[in-house]
Amino acid sequence: MNLTDTQLSELRRKLDQRHASLLEEVRDELEESENQQYVELLGRTPGDIADESVADALADLNLGIVDRHIREIRDIEATRARIQAGSFGTCIACGADIDFERLLAYPTAKRCLACQQQRERTYAHQPTPKL
C-alpha cells in the first residue's frame, strides 16, 4: 500500500474517534432506552392494541439502530486487524490499492471504487431485510 505514515496515522485517528463515538452511542441507547417508549405508551390510559404496536415498532427501531452501530464497530475492528496485518488499503477483490481519498471518506473500505461499484451493480437487486 502506498500510504504514508502521516496518512495512516490520520486514518487510525479517524477510526479511533468513530469507534469511541459508536461505543458511547450504543451504551447510551441501551442505558436510557430500556424500552422507555414502550413504557410511556403503555402507561397511558386507555391503552389499546395500536399503542402496543407503535411501542413495539419503536423498540424494534431502537434495536435496529444499535445493531447498525454494532456492525460498524465490527467493521472498524476488522479494519484495525487489516492495518496490523499489513493488508489495509488493498482491495479484497482485485488486489489494487484503494485511493487515500476513498479511505479518508470511508476508512473501513475493503474494495477500490471500481470493484465496489461493480459489487453494488451486481447485488443491487437482491432483497434486503426490512423492519
Q: Which of 25-39, 41-55, 80-94 bottoms out in mean pLDDT, i.e. has the lowest?
A: 41-55
How confident is the model over 12-24, as pLDDT tens digits? 999 999 999 998 8
Task: Give me the phi and psi of 50, to 5 degrees please.
Answer: -65, -40
pTM for this entry: 0.72
Residue 129 is predicted with a pLDDT of 59
Q: Give dist(CA 99, CA 93) in Å, integer.
A: 14
Residue 64 is predicted with a pLDDT of 77
All three cell numbers of 86, joined, read 499489513
All three cell numbers of 5, joined, read 505514515
77 Cβ partners below 8 Å, 6+ apart?
A: 19
Residue 117 is predicted with a pLDDT of 95
pLDDT band for 28, please (50, 70, 90 cuts): confident
All three cell numbers of 92, joined, read 479484497
- Domains of the chain, with CATH numbers? 5-123 (1.20.120.910)
